[in-house]
């Protein structure tokens, strides 16, 4: 039986950035780190202190961990949307000018001791800046795909954190189960404007020049395929 690795009502222990990095390396998975808490990328609640201490211990066994503990995972439609986004962006973006990272780059503000892992981030290829821990500090565009387990985090602390990065020009939130892209665009130093796209024939034009037609973004999801059969 799979055991839930997520903290319930118990006050979680705080860990260091170095311990969070080691935890991520040992489980061979993606986590995020905020205010001393280690959080699954696909969840909102911290991982239990007992599980973290076990992973950091000399007794840790990866096979045992993977069979005994149930870490939150992305859904089928989440994976399909991310795949479509990656394909569209790689087809259209000027790779000599911009570079996309799909689900594999930590974003951090220098000296803050936090990091998040967006579903997709785009950088200016000739001007990537990393902190001492190898975390990217100057993304140009960030995309998160919303899910029930992450949408609160994506709309609140992650949104505020990303928008505090001076380099960021746009933040996209993409709904998973309906046509909807929310595009937050920087206007000046601290102000942002919101554009909402919510029909199949609309196209969201990103700051890097990529055109995301909603029917293309959602074409491989289960609900889109079911609509197409009607």
Q: Give the model confidence (pLDDT) of 182-214 as tens digits.
A: 999 999 888 999 999 999 999 999 999 999 999
Q: pLDDT > 70: what percent of the chain?
A: 93
Query: How many domains, the chain?
Result: 2
pLDDT of res. 3: 53
Query: Average pLDDT, stretch 120-132?
Result: 95
DSSP assignments along the chain, one per residue: --EE-B--SSPPPP--HHHHHHHHHHHTS-EEEETTEEEETT-SSPBPHHHHHHHHSTT--HHHHHHHEE-----HHHHHHHHHHHHHHHHHS-TTTEEEEES---B--TTS--BB--SEEEEETT---B-TTS-B---SEEEEE--TTTHHHHHTHHHHHHHTSTT--EEEEE-SSSS-EEEEEEETTTEEEEEEE-STT-EEE-TTS-EEEHHHHSTTSHHHHHHHH-
Asked if 188 and 158 sit in the same domain, the reply is yes
Which CATH number covers residue 212? 3.90.1570.10
Shared domain check, 50 and 81:
no
Q: Are residues 163 and 85 in the same domain?
A: yes
* Confidence category of residue 219, pLDDT binned at 50, 70, 90: very high
Do 31 and 91 lie in one domain? The reply is no
pLDDT of residue 61: 94
pLDDT on residue 1: 44
Whether residue 218 sits in one domain with residue 170 = yes
pLDDT at 134 over 60: yes
pLDDT digits (tens, 9 = 90+) for 83-124: 999 999 999 999 999 999 999 899 998 767 789 999 999 999
| Statement to judge: residues 175 and 220 lie in one domain | yes
106 and 173 in a single domain? The answer is yes
pLDDT tier at 10 (50, 70, 90 boundaries)? low
Do 163 and 193 lie in one domain? The reply is yes
Q: Looking at residues 139-150, what average pLDDT do you find?
A: 95
Claim to verify: residue 223 and residue 136 sit in the same structural domain: yes
Last residue of a domain, one of 52, 70, 88: 70
pLDDT tens readout for residues 30-54: 999 998 999 999 988 899 999 999 9
At 8, the pLDDT band (50, 70, 90 cuts) reads low
- Provide the residue range defining the domain that includes 62: 3-70
Q: Are residues 83 and 153 in the same domain?
A: yes
């Amino acid at each position: 039986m799979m055991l839930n690795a997520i903290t319930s009502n118990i006050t979680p222990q705080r860990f260091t950035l170095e311990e969070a990095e080691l935890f991520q390396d040992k489980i061979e998975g993606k986590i995020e780190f905020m205010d001393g808490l280690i959080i699954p990328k696909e969840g909102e609640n911290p991982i239990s202190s007992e599980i973290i201490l076990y992973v950091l211990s000399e007794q840790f066994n990866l096979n045992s961990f993977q069979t005994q503990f149930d870490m939150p995972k992305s859904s089928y439609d989440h994976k399909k949307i991310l795949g479509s986004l990656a394909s569209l962006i790689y087809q259209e973006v000027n790779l000599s000018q911009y570079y996309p990272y799909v689900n594999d780059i930590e974003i951090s503000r220098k000296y803050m001791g936090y990091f998040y892992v967006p579903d997709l981030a785009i950088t200016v290829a000739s001007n990537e800046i990393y902190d001492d821990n190898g975390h990217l500090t100057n993304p140009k565009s960030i995309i998160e795909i919303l899910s029930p387990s992450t949408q609160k985090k994506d709309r609140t602390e992650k949104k505020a954190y990303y928008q505090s990065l001076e380099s960021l020009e746009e933040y996209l939130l993409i709904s998973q189960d309906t046509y909807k892209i929310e595009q937050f665009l920087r206007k000046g130093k601290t102000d942002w404007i919101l554009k909402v796209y919510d029909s199949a024939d609309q196209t969201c034009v990103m700051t890097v020049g990529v055109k995301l037609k909603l029917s293309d973004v959602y074409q491989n999801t289960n609900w889109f395929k079911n609509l197409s059969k009607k």
